[in-house]
Amino acid sequence: MLEAIGAGLAALLTPQAILFMFIGVVYGLVIGILPGLGGVVAMALLLPFTYGFEKAATLALLLGAHIATIWGDSVTSILFSVPGSAKGLALCFDGYPMTKQGQAKRALAASATGALMGGIIGAVFLALCIPLIRPVILALGPSEYLMMALWGLTVIATFSEGSLMKGLIASLLGVLAAFIGTDVVTATPRFTFGSEFLMDGISFPVAMIGLFAVSEMMKLAIKGTPIVDRSLVKEVSTVWQGVMDAVRHWWLVVRSSLLGLWIGVLPGVGASVAGLAAYAQAVQTSKTPERFGKGAVEGVIAPDATMGANEGGGLMPTLAFGIPGGESMAILLVAFIGLGVVPGPDMLTKNLDLVFSMVWIIVIANIVVTIIGLAICPALARLPTLHANLMVPIVLSVCFVGAYATRSRIEDVVVAAVFGVLGYVMDKYRYSRANFVIGMVLAVMIERNLHISLTLYGKDFLLQRPIALAMLAFVLFTAALPFFRTWRRNRRKALAT
Amino acid sequence: MSRRAQDNLVAAVLLALFAGVIWLCQDFGPRARMIPLPLAIFGLILTAIQIVWQNVGSTDELRMDMIEVPAPDSAGAQSGPVAATRPAAQRGASWREEARALGIVAVLLALVLLLGPILAVFLFTGGYFLFTRHYSLRAGVIYTAVFTAATYLLFFVALEIQPYHGILAPLFAQ
């Protein structure tokens, strides 16, 4: 094994591999910052250029780009509350308030360091757990995935901002929006009104661009001043503060990383769920949850650590079984085929050095991203001080072009505009946009796994799947916890008075 | 229009939307409507309760509802993840300002549909700079040209996105 670790690293020390890694990282950062384009697009666009090169160099290019998009996504979420993709959503909640308080450098640095630490933890666990994870994954079926998705819904209370009723309505709207298009189970067109475009459903990145980016620009146009007015709010933080924040909250980083790793291992769950779940976990476990949403640095560190580790987790089922953990891992599988590598149990014997090359790529790419990120933090932190009259036309234009670029369909631009207005109205009347997105993310997963569970095990599937039953108990416990805490706090207040 | 009336209007639209979903679900098979139908019914009930609640309580209570969420200290004002992203100025936005913001989005959308993304970006950005008089004419034109060129190179050259030339393209072609 030690020999394979060494061979994996040696394969990355060739000039071609080093160059490819650097190109991949820089390219990934740019793509990550563009709205609507995330790691999947970054890898898909690189795929045609990967044939005929060294295996390790090709993987360095692809994985390097993919890992860099994670932090790229976070940058716009923190600075403008405009998530580059669904993954960056959780960063808006505390990163953006930090920017408005003159702590953009700290938030960006904490985000980059959190992602680095999460990435390294994820890579180490990937190396250690590949042989162990096989029976765990095989023990989980659609019923357990259904419970995972239901657990995701418990975060709704966290994002409901005083009104759980409106929060629930928003999430139901998100679920119903996700059902627009052809039903994956019965092939029935639902809510399409005969439109061929709607048959494919609403593109998730396009909906995100509208709900957050377009509506934020509408708000900025109304406000008419920079996001951060330096005459009123000075930049009071440093990059080093952010780095130390991530180090100081090491236990939060470890917890979030393990969560990200676990979600990554589960095929089809995805990093967007991971970021939201990490944020909810950080709020639920904090001794001062009231600070969240107002610029708590933990709200930045937790999602980034989770998303960093998520990549290592996503590689596990991809390498061990040939089952992609997400869309980006599916593209990696295509690259494997091009390279003549067959994922599966043989990866752990015949191609172990390649597996460790990937582990090293995750570690090195994360380090390179963090170094570049920390270096450009001060320059990035100045962007929110640009005047609204400059920001609005530029960001709106990029958003609309980005929406079009997602699927090269002009109708997506209309969808982005409609969701932009919807996002503005939801925000104004306190229907949580975050809950809408959570509903949208989890809807298809819930429906698909419920149908499969019913088909495989019948109506009493929970009784036949004890793990799923235990998970349901956990879901109910997690859902009830916030209400129990409120009841306890009110009781204490009543006793005090 | 009072805040309560606005809230009622939004809730009424939601009520109609959930009712519409229930009606549309009748055309689907039992499996296809297994999840959307109960959720839409649940949404309808929740929205109806919300309408009743927001008309029973005082205006201040519109920020909260009967199921309190443990976020925040007092009355939910300025708290929670979503509130954090709301600029203070928005709460005082007049309908004129909101109509202007909506108009900005509508103009860009119309330009993109009619002329395609690149020409739309050039005209919209240049027009915005000109209209707001934030830059001098010369600086505005230079910034607009540089930004449009960067957008074109990034999306349509480097990323090889298929270009769209707009509804009016056939007219120009003739």
Q: pLDDT at residue A322 above 80?
A: no
Q: Tell me if B81 and A159 make a contact (CB, 8 A cut-off).
A: yes
Pair A94, A287: CB distance under 8 Å: no
Closest CA to A229 of A102, A139, A107: A102
**pLDDT for residue B92:** 61
Distance from CA of B135 to the nearest CA of A (A): 9
Q: What is the pLDDT of residues B10-34, one digit of tens each?
A: 999 999 999 999 999 998 888 888 8
Instruction: Please state the three-class secondary structure of chain A as a single string.
Output: CHHHHHHHHHCCCCHHHHHHHHHHHHHHHHHHHCCCCCHHHHHHHHHHHCCCCCHHHHHHHHHHHHHHHHHHHHHHHHHHCCCCCHHHHHHHHHHHHHHHCCCHHHHHHHHHHHHHHHHHHHHHHHHHHHHHHHHHHHHCCHHHHHHHHHHHHHHHHHHCCCCHHHHHHHHHHHHHHHCCEECCCCCCEECCCCCHHHHCCCCHHHHHHHHHHHHHHHHHHHHCCCCCCCCCCCCCCCHHHHHHHHHHCHHHHHHHHHHHHHHHHCCCCCHHHHHHHHHHHHHHHCCCHHHCCCCCCHHHHHHHHHHHHHHHHHHHHHHHHCCCCCHHHHHHHHHHHHHCCCCCHHHHCCCHHHHHHHHHHHHHHHHHHHHHHHHHHHHHCCHHHCCHHHHHHHHHHHHHHHHHHHHCCCHHHHHHHHHHHHHHHHHHCCCCHHHHHHHHHHHHHHHHHHHHHHHHHCCCHHHHCHHHHHHHHHHHHHHHHHHHHHHHHHHHHHHHC
Check residues A496 and B25 and name the one with the higher pLDDT: B25
Neighbours of A407 (CB within 10 A): 17
User: Which residues, listed in sequence order, are joined to residue A190 by a DSSP beta bridge?
Assistant: A181
User: Do residues A58 and A20 lie in contact, with contact meaning Cβ atoms separated by under 8 Å?
Assistant: yes
Q: Distance (Å, rounded) from C-alpha A232 to C-alpha A306?
A: 34
Instruction: Note whether A371 and A214 are within 8 A (CB).
Output: no
Express each pLDDT in A14-67 by its tens digit.
888 888 889 889 888 888 777 666 666 677 777 767 767 788 888 888 888 888
Query: What is the structure's pLDDT at B111?
Result: 94
ipTM: 0.84
Report how far residue A245's alpha carbon sits from residue A110's, in angstroms, rounded to the nearest whole number.
6
Residue A158 has pLDDT above 50, yes or no: yes
**φ, ψ at A44 (rounded to 5°):** -60, -40
CA distances from residue A496 to A490, A491, A492 in whole angstroms, order as listed? 10, 9, 6
Cβ contact (<8 Å) for A93 and B75? no
How many beta-carbon contacts under 8 Å exist across A and B?
Answer: 257
Interface of B with A in 123-162 (CB under 8 A): 124-125, 128-129, 132, 134, 143, 147, 151, 154-155, 159-162
Q: Tell me whether residue A292 is exposed, middle or buried, using C-beta atoms within 10 angstroms of its C-beta: 0 to 12, 13 to 18, 19 or more.
A: buried
Say what the pLDDT of residue A339 is: 77
B82/A34 CB distance under 8 A: no
Determine the pLDDT at residue A407. 84
Mean pLDDT on A428-448: 82
DSSP string, B15-55: HHHHHHHHHHHTTS-TTTTTTHHHHHHHHHHHHHHHHHHHH
What is the structure's pLDDT at B19?
Answer: 96
Q: Could you tell me the sign of the dihedral formed by the alpha carbons of A216, A378, A226, A31, in that order?
A: negative
Residues composing chain B:
174
Where is average pLDDT lowest: A74-83, A154-163, A322-331? Answer: A154-163
Chain A residues within 8 A of B104 when measuring between CB atoms? 218, 221, 392, 396
Q: For residue A270, what pLDDT band results from cuts at 50, 70 and 90?
A: low
Is the pLDDT reported for residue A223 higher than 70?
Answer: yes
- H or E segment and range at residue B67: none
Q: Would the CB atoms of A421 and B105 count as touching at under 8 Å?
A: yes
For residue A388, the model assigns a pLDDT of 83
Look at residue A39 in the predicted model and tell me its pLDDT: 67
Cα A186 to Cα A248: distance, rounded to the nearest angstrom: 51
Pinpoint the alpha helices (H) of chain B: 3-25, 36-56, 80-84, 88-91, 95-115, 117-132, 137-151, 169-173
Q: What is the pLDDT of residue B65?
A: 43
Contact: A169, B46; criterion CB under 8 Å: yes
Q: Which of B24, B41, B85 to mutate to test the interface with A (most CBs of A within 10 A)?
A: B85
Contact criterion met (CB < 8 Å) for A166 and B65: yes
3-state secondary structure (DSSP) of residue B93: coil
Mean pLDDT by groups of 10 residues along chain B of 174 residues: 86 95 91 90 92 74 45 39 45 80 94 93 93 86 92 83 84 73
Shortest Cα–Cα distance, B174 to chain A (Å): 22
Q: Which of residues 152-171 of A touch B (CB under 8 A)?
A: 157-169
pTM of the model: 0.77
Q: Are the Cβ atoms of A162 and B164 closer than 8 angstroms?
A: no
- The rounded mean pLDDT for chain A is 82
**Touching check for B86 and chain A: CB below 8 Å?**
yes
Nearest chain B CA: its distance from A3 CA (Å)? 40
Q: What is the pLDDT of residue B73?
A: 39
